[in-house]
A and B are shown apart, each in its own frame.
Chain A
Amino acid sequence: MNRRVLRKIKNGAFLSLSLVATLTGLACLAAILWTLISHGVSGMSGRLFTQMTPPPGSQGGLLNAIYGSGVMTLLGILIGSPIGVLAGTYLAEYGRNSRLSLTIRFINDVLLSAPSIIIGLFIYEIVVVRMGHFSAIAGALALAVLAIPVTLRTTEDMLNLVPIGMKDSSAALGAYPWRTILSVLYPAARSGIVTGLLLAIARISGETAPLLFTALNNQFWSTRLAAPMANLPVVIFQFALSPYNDWQDLAWAGALIITVTILVLSISARVLLALLQAQRGS
């Protein structure tokens, strides 16, 4: 009898601990979001989107940084995602279980969680050193390298979900694989692949470490891809660690902008995926 009570107590204790762990995790998320909102909203103003990053002690905005982040993220996706999608297509349709495919799949999963600062050093060595100076294009390349594994993984997974019958029907009509892939598989897996793109954008738009020694930063408005370009993450890094209140306020506002953007992207990716699954189910 006593033993039974003990077992029940032990059971209750561990289950309560797991509840506490979950509440702790949720509390962390809530605390971070709350801090961002309470600090960031006070810094929100029209100036953010119309003025450049200011010198210490004067007021300004984040226009050049927002523009730079947008340009480099866009370029990164434009360069990285076609490579990721094509490579994912190879793994799902052509390579399948060949030794090469198994290796690539493994290496891709390693790249997926490799430290982004290493990618920054890599691009520094092969682009910045050659060009002799920091540039927006180097930043975009670093982001592209980070986008490839994400798009590759989702593309392969999504192509594998397409019912085999669709592929067979196309082949039975005499279509070569490339026709089948472009006209049947890609359209069927479209929302899945778009989900991958959204996740990749979410992943790279908040990256700071790989931009530190590729795009660097620029206090002024610049549209030249061969020159250093301002970007939100590096501006946040510099401004948050500065002793100036104006700069710190801007850093919080920038942090809020980035986080909201990324959360919206991640949530839309999830919604899209849920819709896709509902469609499959019916």
Chain B
Amino acid sequence: MAIIDPRHAAKQLIYERIFRSATLIAAVLVLLILGGVAVSLLRGAWPALAHFGFSFVAREIWNPVTDQFGALAPIYGTVMTSAIAMAIAVPTGFGIALFLTELCPPLLKRPIGVAVELLAAVPSIIFGIWGLFVLAPVLQRHIQPWMIRVFGDLPAIGHLFKGPPYGIGILTAGVVLAIMVLPFIAATMRDVFDTVPPMLKESGYGLGATTWEVIWNVVVPHSRVGIVGGIMLGLGRALGETMAVTFVIGNAHRISSSLLAPGTTISSAIANEFTEAVGDMYTSALIALGLLLFLITFTVIAAAQAMLRRLERRSGAVV
């Protein structure tokens, strides 16, 4: 038996300390990055925020020539496009998750699941050019004229569908976003549905419930928190998505009553104008937009993560 050499042991301890510190530094770096993002955005945005004050988020004007900037139009565009995206993607994602967990033949479950996940891997710029060259013309020629004809004269919502069919605009951006966030929502919901204990579902079937009744009365209530978490994760993506929107939004700094009209979003305004911005106030106003986006998405994503975590802990406790 060899006796442990004290010098060797001391060396081992030093290596241990070095390695441990290296991993700790790397881990803390993650916190520093987030802190750095917040601080640098705040610093860059300060001139514009100090100059315009609260009116920055309340004014529609966006005039680089006179150095007057307000964020209302991009905020409106961001909220509207995301709302349209969620209105389409949530029911569709729910349907896909339902199909994958309850209906799909086992043989197809994996291929379809993988296909949905691959849709999530396609970079957003691809959705952008596809939206511009394929989806926008289809919407312009076929869908939008029909919408104008059918909905345009309705009271209350008619104004949303007035005006010429541009093809590009808020509605088109919303549809492209919907396709982009669909895989995230579908995949999260599928994973959440999978955590429902089979015993609960079998009890439902044992009482004579149909598949839909089991889903609506057993699976959905049981996974409610996870469903909302998944939706908010998708919403976080939709709010911050840049390239896909920039191609099809039309880049007009104004709020139109019609969904068919061009608009802008926070991220697409930054992407379009940042490298061309001359003047400190212009650049600062764009960074202030970035700060707004950071605050909005951070809140939404953090809430989503908190919900999904709660679910994880709960299902961990059940098992």
Q: Footprint of B on A, CB under 8 Å?
A: 7-8, 10-11, 14-15, 17-22, 24-26, 28-29, 31-32, 35-36, 39, 82-87, 89-91, 93-95, 100-101, 103-104, 106-111, 113-119, 121-122, 124-126, 145, 148-149, 152, 174, 176-179, 181-182, 202, 205-209, 212-213, 216, 233, 236-237, 240-241, 251-252, 255, 258-259, 262-263, 266-267, 270
Contact = CB atoms under 8 A, between A and B. Distances in A.
7 contacts: A22-B95, A25-B119, A114-B294, A208-B243, A263-B118, A263-B122, A267-B118
A90 B24 contact: yes
B27 A18 contact: no
A21 to B, nearest CB: 3
Contacts of B20: 94, 177-178
Given A21-B96, A115-B239, A255 B125 contact: yes
Interface residues of B, number: 93
Majority DSSP secondary structure for residues of A touching B: helix
B213 interface: yes
Interface in B8-56: 12-13, 15-16, 18-20, 22-31, 33-34, 36-37, 40-41, 43-44
Contacts of B219: none
A116 B267 CA distance: 10
B121 A202 contact: yes
Given A118-B240, A118-B290, A90 B99 contact: no
Contacts of B119: 25, 28-29, 32
B91 interface: yes
A18 B129 contact: no
Contacts of B278: none
B307 to A, nearest CB: 12
A213 B275 contact: yes
Contact of A114 (B13, B27, B240, B247): B240
A104 B240 contact: no
Given A28-B119, A182-B19, A240-B133, 9 more contacts: A15-B212, A22-B104, A26-B115, A29-B118, A90-B24, A103-B31, A177-B16, A178-B19, A208-B242
Nearest to A213: B274
B240 A115 contact: yes
B302 interface: yes
B154 to A, nearest CB: 25
Interface stretch (B143-151, B178-186, B195-203): B178-186
Contact of B112 (A8, A26, A101, A111): A26
B293 interface: yes
Contacts of A17: 95
Contacts of A94: 20, 23-24
Contacts of A121: 40-41, 44, 270, 274, 287, 290
B277 to A, nearest CB: 10
B87 interface: no
Most buried by A among B96, B129, B293: B129
B133 to A, nearest CB: 7
B242 A83 contact: no
B92 interface: yes
Given A31-B134, A86-B22, A86-B27, A25 B116 contact: yes
B124 A236 contact: no
A28 B180 CA distance: 10
Interface in B250-306: 267, 270-271, 274-275, 287, 290, 293-294, 297-298, 301-302, 305-306
A185 to B, nearest CB: 12
A252 B129 contact: yes
